[in-house]
Amino acid sequence: MARVHYAEIIASIASKSAGPGTRANIDEFTETTSRAIEVVGGAAKGKAIIVLNPAEPPLMMRDTVYVLSDEASQDDIEASINEMAEAVQAYVPGYRLKQRVQFEVIPQDKPVNLPGVGQFSGLKTAVWLEVEGAAHYLPAYAGNLDIMTSSALATAEKMAQSLARKAGEAA
């Protein structure tokens, strides 16, 4: 769609949903997620930030995603984001866009400086997400845990279907 120069995610989770494992591995989370933004997402530079929010009552998981890319069709980008949100909702029902995708064109005569990247002009895209947990076993504010368990379940189901299909073909 467009070359991505920089992308970052700021994940804000309820501190009550962050157990000792999460707290002990925050550096690993930010490093791994930053690298995934680059390798899987295709960004030239990726950054991940996690915020443990101590608010009472605990707030739902919220993610803010910023992308700086070459200019492209804003309608196409928004449609792609909406399609992906719907795909994730198929296995994480509480996953949703909090508001419409927002865009800002950064003109060539007024570039912004990105530390470690340099001068940038192009398209800034901002996405605000919320993940409400299903509250089957975990509290609704623990969307960060629900998205992981729901994603793992969806992946396991796809693997099982693939194995069953291969077994059926071999028979």
Residue 23 marked in a binding site:
yes
Residue-wise burial string across 12-34, b where 16 or more C-beta atoms lie within 10 A, e elsewhere: bbbebbbeeebeeeeeeebeebb
Residue 25 marked in a binding site:
yes
Say how far apart CA 59 and CA 104 lie, in whole Å: 28
Residue 30 marked in a binding site:
no
81 φψ region: left (φ > 0), alpha (ψ -120 to 50), beta (else):
alpha
Q: Are 2 and 77 in contact (CB under 8 A)?
A: yes
Of the chain, the end-to-end C-alpha distance in Å amounts to: 42
Residue 133 marked in a binding site:
no
Residue 19 marked in a binding site:
yes
Residue 20 marked in a binding site:
yes
Residue 82 marked in a binding site:
no
* Backbone angles phi and psi of 122, in degrees to 5: 150, -140
Residue 144 marked in a binding site:
yes
Annotated binding site for NAD(+), which residues? 17-25, 144
Annotated binding site, which residues? 17-25, 144
